[in-house]
Structure formats: structure tokens, C-alpha cells
Chains A and B, each alone.
Chain A
Amino acid sequence: MMRFIRTVYYVLKQGLKSICKNLFMVSASVVVVFATLLMMGGLWAISENIQFVVEQYKERPDIRINLHSYIEQEEAEELKAVLEKDGRVKSVVLITKEETRNNIINFLDGDGAGIFEGHEESPALNYISFDIMLEAYTDGAAFKAEAEKLVSVDNVRDTSGFISKLEVVLFWIRIGTVAATVAMAVLSVLLIFNTVKLTVFARKREIEIMKYIGASDWYICGPFVIEGVFTGLVGALLAYFMLGGICNGLYKTLTQSNFLGDTISLLAFKDIDVNFLLWYILAGVATGVIASLWAIRKHVNV
């Protein structure tokens, strides 16, 4: 047992020495692992945020029907009943003239400057609306067209199309994430493979001698594997902290700048960070180990 621990110690020492000797190539590999993981995490953070925005939009009415100002409550209630019977409609909320007026005034004159004073009775502020949620997979555009033909309807707004567009974007970002990650992972493995291969080549004679004096395979491979593990680990740690920094920075800027308005919120890094560090380390180390084992297998033929 003590012998085993001591050989592990010798192997570790050898591995660290080899990293120091090869610092330039090891750094290059670290950078590639870092870039791969950062890009993967970045794209993931973007798609999580789009998903989040989509969900927020989904909770909102798909269709907003604004009635003519001269339509009164009673007539509107009748129309609401008709709409509710439509199979495509999930729910209808009636917004009274008063509510509409208050909403508009609050929205446009939040600080109470009184810009609408004297215009409270204007038809532009006094109309009844319906907020309609459609059943899933309903053609919002067709529904809108039908609603526009109703005599009491002034205009109709359909936001369901925006969400489906966003969902298409999301889909492609996700595909892109997978494709780019695969490509970058292959690049990382190749680069680490080459780095380790160089070390193996430089130490070919030494490896031969080690075999003659009875070093076991894992004793010979150990230092190279350590080189790979080190590369993956450092790359993963750097990528994690970089991603966290970028995400938090962007989150702060975007939420503070009012760029998105008050109605949409984003995910902070801590909301996305589901064991990210752990996954990063696993991915980085796995890449390193696979690449270095591959390099030694091919060149040492242990």
C-alpha cells in the first residue's frame, strides 16, 4: 500500500515536471479547452434566456381585440360569450373602458404629470378590450383575420406569431450549440493529443528505458494523463469564472439599461448555473484524459 502511494507520488511529480517543460503547448491546449467550454456555456446561457423570455410571453394573451369606443358593456358581454364558445379559445378576459383608460394613463403618464387632463372622455382612451388565450397550436393569424371581420371590432393584435418565431430561433441556437460544441471538442482533443504526442516523442527513449527496467504501463502513462487532466481542469476553471463574469456583466447592463423594458426579465448567472462547475470539470478532464491516452496508446504501444 505504501509502495503504491509512493509510486503515485512519483508519477504526479513526473507529470508536473512535464507540464512545466511543455508550458507553451500546454497553455495552447488550455486556451482551446477554455474557448470550447466558454462558447458552449455562452450559447447555453443565451438559449436558456430565450426560453425564459418565451415562457414569459406564453403567459400573456395571444390575441388582443380592441372594440370600437361606441360598443358598451352589455353588447361586449354578449360578444365575450360568443368568443368563449369558440373551440380555439382557451380563455377570454374582458377589460372595461375604465380599466383601459387607467392602463393607458398609467403606462404613458406614470409620474402623474397630468398630460391627459381634460381628455378623460376621449374615445381614444375609452374602449372595451378582450385578452384572449388560444389553445395550443392554434393559427393565431387566421383567428385574427376572422375577428377583424366582426362589426364591433376596431382592431386586433396577434402576438402568437412572435413567440413561434422566437421558438424557431431558439431551436436553431440549440442545434448550433450542439454542432459548435462537437466541433470544438474534436479540436480540443486533437490539440491535446498533439501536445501529448510531442511530449511522448521527446521522451521516446526514456519510455523505452522505463519499459526495460520494469515500469508498469500506468507508471509510464501516468505523467501524460496528468498533463491531460491538468489541461482540462485549468481550462474548465478559467471558462467557468469567465462565463460567470460575462453573464453577470451582461445581466446587469441589460436589466439596468431598460433596453428590454419593464415587462421582460432575464436569468442571472446563478439561475442558469446548475452544477456548471462540476460539468465543466468533468468535460474538461474527460477531454484531457481521452486525448492523452489516445496519444500514448498510439506512440508507446503499451
Chain B
Amino acid sequence: MEQKNNGGKTKYMGPDIVFENVTKEYDNGVKALDSVSFSINSGEFAFLMGHSGSGKSSLIKLLMLEERPTSGNIIVQGTNLADIKGANVPRFRRNIGVVFQDFRLIQSKTVYENIAFAMEIIGSDRATINKQVDIALELVGLKHKKHEKPNCLSGGEQQRVAIARAVVNLPGMIIADEPTGNLDPDNSVEIMQLLKKINDMGATVLIATHEDTIVKNLSQRVIQLDHGVRQIGQE
């Protein structure tokens, strides 16, 4: 499965994600991010680490355009996010696969329907949907659970379904906020390895987590966050 999808546009060669002095202050005065700067290259795998309240989720919300920065610039694949407005927000989000701690699957839909859903919203035809869903399920190793409902699956399995949904449209980038936060250590390792596998296929991957052991074992780049970026580790 080819993870890079540049939609026929001329390929952008610079870094995938750039934060330039990004500050996020919420309405209640809490400064979640204070002048954060870093960049992530295309095809890179990076962990976003920091203690609770250090602003990891805030950073991801900014990337998903759920929140807007108080100041500073965020550039994703060459586009300044400040320029993306209105109907272009959902279009932008389709280019990023996102995974959450609480899986966020639709309980009333089967595994297949949950994944297919992400393709229906962009108007893919049924044959393509079936093919892609099968490939995604194969990738996460859940083909045999295709017609189960999420509540019949274990946490690890549910998270793998969420990952399948995140990759089914072949986005260039996967972002995960504490994807292993609700999982036991074995499952956590499996999920991280799965995300690494997707990265190996070409997708840029950014994972917010505070699981030191897994991070150490995978020995990938770490962006340490403490309201501002404190340290940018490389392997």
C-alpha cells in the first residue's frame, strides 16, 4: 500500500510540519504552548512527549484546525494553516489520518462500516471502498473481524480499527494522541509497531505519548514539550 497521496499536485519538497513560534493561550488565560518551534520532515517518525498538561493535545488540535494559534505560524505540507478556512477545513483534514486514545469508533456501525465511512464522505465508489477497506484491515490484521461491532472487540483491536480508518484514504500524514493510553503494555507495543510499519510505507507519523519505555525501545526522534519545546532529540 502506497501511503503517499499528493493528489496529482506537484510534489511539495520541504518539511511536512513546521511550527514557528507557535503560542496557544486559551480564553481562560492558560498558556498551553509558549512559542513552540520545530519541524518534521516528510516521511519522518516522531514522538511528542511531555508531562500531563504540557500541551501535547493542544498541539495536535492546532494541527487538526480544531483550535487556532494565538500567535505564530503552522505550515503543513507547504500550506500555512491560517489560510485554510471554511469548507477547506474538512478537505484539509482528509489529508491527515488521526488516531485518539479513546479510539472514537461509531458504536452502531461494524468494523467495515466504520472504516468505509471515511471513504464515503469523500464520495469513493463502492468497489474502491471494499478494496481499500480490505487492504487496511489486512494491514492491521483484523480481516476476520470485519463484520463485528466495536463493542465486541478488545481495546487493542478497536485501536487497530481506528488506525485502519486513519490510513484507508492513504493520507500523507498520521497523527496520534496517546494511541496507547488505554491499552496494556503488549497491545501498546503492537500499536506502536503498526504505526512504525505505516511510517515505513512512506507516511509521516507524529505520536503524542508519555510511555517512556516504548519510546526508548523504538529509538525514534523525540520532541520534548514543556509548554515551549525544551529539547528536540534525534534518534
Contact = CB atoms under 8 A, between A and B. Distances in A.
A213 B118 contact: yes
A219 interface: yes
A214 B125 contact: no
Contact of A214 (B105, B106, B108, B121): B121
Contacts of B85: none
Interface string A1-26: 01111110010000000000000000
Contact of B121 (A2, A206, A215): A215
A97 B87 CA distance: 86
Given A214-B91, A215-B90, A217-B90, A209 B104 contact: yes
A88 interface: no
A7 B90 contact: no
A216 B90 CA distance: 5
B87 A213 contact: no
B68 to A, nearest CB: 15
B30 interface: no
A205 B100 CA distance: 13
A212 interface: yes
Interface residues of A, number: 20
A212 B64 contact: yes
A209 B107 CA distance: 11
Given A209-B104, A209-B106, A214 B124 contact: no
Nearest to B87: A216
B122 interface: yes
Contacts of B98: 212-213
A212 B98 CA distance: 7
Contacts of A208: 104
B133 to A, nearest CB: 14
9 contacts: A6-B124, A208-B104, A209-B105, A210-B121, A212-B98, A213-B98, A213-B165, A214-B93, A216-B91
Interface of B: 64, 87, 90-95, 98, 104-106, 108, 117-118, 120-125, 165
Given A3-B123, A214-B121, A216-B91, 16 more contacts: A2-B125, A6-B123, A10-B121, A209-B106, A210-B121, A211-B90, A211-B93, A214-B91, A214-B92, A214-B94, A214-B118, A216-B87, A216-B90, A216-B121, A217-B87, A217-B90
